[in-house]
Chains A and B, each alone.
Chain A
Amino acid sequence: MKRRGFLKLGVLMGSAPYLNAKAVTAFQKEFEAVSPVIEAVLEHIFPIGSQIPSAKETGLVHFVYETITHPSYDKDIRSFVIEGAKELDKRTQSRFVQMKHSQKEYALREYEMTGYGDNWLGRMMTLGMEGLFSDPIYGANPKEAGWKALGAYGGQPRPKTRYLGS
Chain B
Amino acid sequence: MNAKHYDVVIIGSGASGGSVAYMLSKAGFKVALLEKGRLIRRDEFSKDELAYCRRDLVTPNLFEEYHVIEEKVDGKWVGTPTYESGWSFWNGNIVGGSSNFMSGMFHRLHPDDFRLKSRYGEIKGANVVDWPISYEELEPYYTLAEKLVGISGHYIPHPYEPPRSTPDFPQPPTRENAVVKLLDKSCQKLGVTPLVTPRAVLSQDTPDRHACYYSNFCGSYGCSSGAKGSAREAFVKPALATGNLTLMTNSHVKRLHTRQKDRVAYAEVVDTVTGEERKVYGDTFVVAAQAHESARLLLNSANKDHPDGLGNSSGELGKNLLFSGGGSGQGILSKKRLKEIRFEELMQTGLFVNRSILDWYFVDDWWDGKFKGGSVEWMFEHQNIISRARKDNVREGRYIWGKELGERLVKRFSEGKSIRFEIFNDWLPNDNCFVSVDPKHKDKYGMPVGRLRVEGHPQDLKVGRYIAKKCEAILEEMGAEEIYSSVSAAPSQNLVAGGCRFGDDPKRSVLDRYCRAHDLANLYVVDASFMPTGGSVAYSWTIYANALRVADHLIKRLGKG
Contacts and interface: CB of A to CB of B under 8 A. Distances in A.
Dominant SS at the A interface? loop
A86 interface: no
Interface in A120-166: 121-122, 125-126, 129-130, 132-135, 137-138, 147, 149-160, 162-163
Contact of A152 (B80, B224, B385, B399): B385
Contacts of A29: none
A1 B386 contact: no
B399 A122 contact: yes
A122 to B, nearest CB: 7
Given A2-B80, A52-B409, A157 B46 contact: yes
Interface stretch (A30-38, A42-50, A92-100): A42-50
Given A17-B63, A47-B403, A135-B50, A52 B410 contact: yes
B63 A50 contact: no
Most buried by A among B48, B49, B57: B48
Contact of B386 (A50, A133, A156, A162): A133
B49 A134 contact: yes
A151 B386 contact: no
A129 B47 contact: no
A73 B413 CA distance: 28
Interface string B82-93: 001111000000
B385 A160 contact: no
A72 B56 contact: yes
Interface string A6-19: 00000000000100
A155 B401 contact: no
A75 B63 contact: yes
A50 B50 CA distance: 24
Nearest to B347: A151
Contacts of A22: none
A150 B385 contact: yes
B370 interface: no
A151 B50 contact: no
B54 interface: yes
Contacts of B69: 1
Given A17-B64, A112-B398, A159 B51 contact: yes
Contacts of B401: 44-46, 125
A90 interface: no
Nearest to A163: B51
Contact of A156 (B47, B388, B390, B403): B47
Contact of A150 (B46, B57, B398, B410): B410
Nearest to A51: B406
Interface residues of B, number: 46
Contact of B48 (A17, A74, A135, A147): A135
Contact of B390 (A52, A73, A105, A125): A125
Nearest to A113: B398
A151 B413 contact: yes
A159 B43 CA distance: 11
Contact of A138 (B50, B63, B213, B393): B50
Nearest to B48: A159
A62 interface: no
A109 interface: yes
A139 to B, nearest CB: 11
B57 A72 contact: yes
B175 to A, nearest CB: 16
B348 interface: no
Interface of B: 45-51, 54-57, 61, 63-64, 69, 71, 80, 84-87, 213, 215-217, 221, 224, 383, 385-386, 388-390, 393, 398-399, 401-403, 405-407, 409-410, 413-414
Across the A-B interface, the 10 shortest Cβ-Cβ residue pairs:
A155-B47, A50-B406, A155-B217, A51-B406, A159-B48, A17-B63, A163-B51, A159-B46, A150-B413, A155-B215
15 contacts: A50-B403, A51-B406, A51-B407, A72-B55, A72-B57, A105-B402, A135-B48, A152-B413, A153-B385, A154-B47, A154-B49, A155-B221, A157-B224, A158-B48, A159-B46
Given A132-B389, A135-B50, A147-B385, 5 more contacts: A1-B80, A126-B390, A151-B414, A155-B217, A156-B215
